[in-house]
């Protein structure tokens, strides 16, 4: 199952198709327990990667929506670190 998340103040999740918002998109795809692959694409190019959202210890019982929100939070934190590294 793949979720596409629009680059807008509030992320919108649509299953089974890619949604475009403001000419930008983030595509999320589950990649094993606790992991999501992502791709962000614009006219300038694309950035893709993999983030971990699973918790250490017992199985992650969060809803799929909560896990996807955790993936978005990880991507946001990663993008901030990436931007900071580019400025160094």
- What does the alpha-carbon distance between residue 15 and residue 86 come to, in Å, rounded to a whole number? 33
Q: What is the pLDDT of residues 37-58, one digit of tens each?
A: 998 888 889 999 999 987 777 7
Q: Is the pLDDT of residue 24 over 90?
A: no
Mean of the pLDDT values across residues 45-73? 85
Q: With a threshold of 0.75, does the pTM exceed it?
A: no
What DSSP character marks residue 40? E
Q: Is the pLDDT of residue 68 over 50?
A: yes
Taking the domains of the chain in order of start, what are their residue ranges? 3-87
From residue 43, how far is each of 6, 21, 34, 40 by CA, in Å? 15, 14, 30, 11
- What does the alpha-carbon distance between residue 38 and residue 43 come to, in Å, rounded to a whole number? 17
Q: What integer pLDDT is reported at residue 1 of this predicted model?
A: 47
């Amino acid at each position: 199952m793949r979720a596409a998340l629009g680059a807008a103040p509030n992320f919108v999740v649509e299953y089974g198709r890619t949604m475009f918002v403001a000419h930008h998109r983030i595509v999320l795809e589950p990649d094993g327990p606790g992991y999501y692959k992502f791709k962000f694409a614009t006219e300038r190019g694309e950035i893709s990667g993999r983030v971990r959202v699973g918790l250490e210890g017992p199985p992650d019982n969060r809803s799929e929506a909560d896990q996807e929100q955790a993936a978005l939070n990880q991507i946001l934190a990663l993008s901030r670190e990436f931007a900071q590294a580019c400025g160094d």
